[in-house]
Structure 1
């Protein structure tokens, strides 16, 4: 198999989430695994939400990638997003970076390793619904005990020289504010506006954002390295990145309220996304939130998870960094990230999980997504060397 061709073919198979149907791409990957002599099963978290897992799951290392992609309209693209066009430098299209390029690399690296020695100490999981939170993908596989705790590498796009060993936490919730309606000509003397309640709460969240959470010396070193790595990414230039890693970031992503322009608003709904640094407990933050809201407000938690970290000194992290260093001839050091992924669910279930994969980070979820061909081939070599490291350690 050629990694460029496989990446292109995967891009051509639409698997947008929503709706999240990965049936066709799962069947394609299962057919490739069958050609390698790897027995696999397709399992559905819900109808059409398909996952592909190798039958032999009790292995030292699991390689994982998600098959779903965010939607793409053709408007604005230089090349149609699902054409899978390949030129001298890039594979173009939706999912080429996030993360069908990574899935292609897993497949071709595994083929190379099996050609060398037959059986390898590796299990595989190609999952759905990562872009939707993983309910029908990784989380489903964990709940059904179809995958088992081990070292896990997720082929998410990362900076070329730095595997990601940790992610910030997440706290999503909805608040429904209830006011006292009245005639708009009398407000604010008469009536209580649900919209203004939401406004006051957001002002408090902005103050909460200024709180800095101190870290251990080891984690501080990781964060400083992560800031330096992130600062080199094209889309981050000119922004102060320290708060992103050390403070609570917040986004009032959805807000709706009011009944008419001439009525003091009786209802307002706000959906919030908080990203929590290490040392910040989600339950503690929710308790603070409850204390800041009026008694009439109703809070509905949606997602909560504390920041997570895989030991940078672990065999998985050190072996991956060594493979990166040997291919790129640089000193590879791990980093942590501000966003979330399936690694969060895996760590919570007892996996030692990291992320490392090919892709252009500046094109994530955007127009003209693409992945460099030379990076696909370099990461294939890194995975191949990592598999061999595990084979040598575990005697396959």
Structure 2
């Protein structure tokens, strides 16, 4: 089975989020599985936001991927973002790396297993809504008991030799400021500008990046190794700052009424990524204390999470990666959020590993190399082999 063709066909099926309609891409996956005798259930959680879960008794392994992608404009792309073009050793297009490449590799690995006459030792879950928080996707499956806690591999893109075992925390805040309007020519003598109040708070937020936090030394060593990987992947000097410190982004700012009026209102959507050792309630309290003439509303809060790097599942994944890629293989922590945080909270032991070109993630000319796709299939197949043996031993003991 040509995994690059599967990836290309998935990319060509548009599933931008927003709006989040994944019905067509989920139908493609259901038809693919049906043709191989793998029965699944599709649930529409509204507006075409569809998820798929394979049927059958609980399995010792969950293979999981999201099929929604962030939007893309046509401008600047070498190939149209939803073409799924295969050229020069890559599949090009929005979602090729995040993460239809990983979904394609899961499907191709299951295809090889079924063709060899083996029973699938894993539940498969393909979900919507990862890019906007997971309420209609993985959190829906968890809330409705459609998946049960077990070892879980999410096919999110990762460095080739480094499965991901944890993510920083996430805190999204809505900031609203109220000023005292007046004629713009008289400011700052007369009037209070809501925009300038917002700017003052953002100056304080910038200072949060300088804070240092206490953490377990074993965790700090993993962060050190992870930071070296990031520095190499992204060609940056201070990779450690990504994981050890608060990072922030005022993603949306709007305010003011007219150019010659002192602004009466201003709003900011602020996102903070939270390192291990940082107390989110204390951090939000500090921000509130510095929000003069402003209110702070928490929209999304998730603590940092990680899977024990010494657990058997992490060892299995690293072993299969080493067999395929060779070299120095070890697990890392990651800066971004994913469905892993929800699954860990529900009792799953989660490792992320998948194909992709991280530098193109959410960017123009997103793409995935065919080599990384093919190697991901081999790695997933090796993991499935391990769990097939475990399942057979369990079945024998149950007789």
Match of 2:318, SS? helix
Partner of 1:383: 380
CA contact (8 A) 2:155 2:354 kept: yes
1:55 maps to 2:55: yes
Partner of 1:191: 191
Deviation at 1:171, TM superposition (A): 0.4
Aligned residues, how many?
Answer: 393
CA contact (8 A) 2:227 2:242 kept: no
Partner of 1:308: 305
Q: 1:330 aligns with which of 327, 334, 341?
A: 327
Deviation at 1:200, TM superposition (A): 1.5
Alignment of 1:60-209 (within 5 A): 60-87=60-87, 89-209=89-209
For 1:177 and 1:82, the matched residues in 2 are separated by 40
CA contact (8 A) 2:183 2:260 kept: yes
Deviation at 1:102, TM superposition (A): 0.6
Deviation string for 1:233-278 (max 9, x for gaps)? 1xx2144122111110011111111222222222111110000001
Distance 1:287 1:83, change over 3 A: same
For 2:347 and 2:300, the matched residues in 1 are separated by 19
Match of 1:65, SS? strand
Deviation at 1:154, TM superposition (A): 0.7
For 1:61 and 1:137, the matched residues in 2 are separated by 19
What do you get for the CA RMSD once the two structures are aligned?
1.6
For 2:342 and 2:202, the matched residues in 1 are separated by 29
CA contact (8 A) 1:321 1:333 kept: yes
Q: Which runs of 4+ in 1 moved over 4 A?
A: none
Alignment of 1:25-40 (within 5 A): 25-40=25-40
Match of 1:213, SS? coil
Deviation string for 1:119-140 (max 9, x for gaps)? 2320000011112221211111
Match of 1:380, SS? helix
CA contact (8 A) 1:57 1:147 kept: no
Match of 2:356, SS? coil
CA contact (8 A) 1:150 1:352 kept: yes
For 2:43 and 2:30, the matched residues in 1 are separated by 11
Instruction: Extract unaligned runs of 5+ from structure 2.
Output: none
TM-score (norm 2): 0.94
For 1:337 and 1:227, the matched residues in 2 are separated by 9
For 1:79 and 1:199, the matched residues in 2 are separated by 39
CA contact (8 A) 1:57 1:148 kept: no
Deviation at 1:81, TM superposition (A): 2.1
Partner of 2:279: 281
TM-score (norm 1): 0.95
1:45 maps to 2:45: yes
Distance 1:269 1:30, change over 3 A: same
Partner of 1:224: 224
Deviation at 1:88, TM superposition (A): 5.3
Match of 2:82, SS? coil
- 48-57 or 272-281, larger mean C-alpha shift: 48-57
For 1:260 and 1:301, the matched residues in 2 are separated by 29
Distance 1:266 1:57, change over 3 A: farther
For 1:228 and 1:215, the matched residues in 2 are separated by 18
Deviation string for 1:159-205 (max 9, x for gaps)? 00000000000100111111222233332233222122112211211
1:341 maps to 2:338: yes
Instruction: Extract unaligned runs of 5+ from structure 1.
Output: none
Match of 2:86, SS? coil
CA contact (8 A) 2:250 2:268 kept: yes
Distance 1:57 1:331, change over 3 A: farther
1:13 maps to 2:34: no
Distance 1:217 1:363, change over 3 A: same
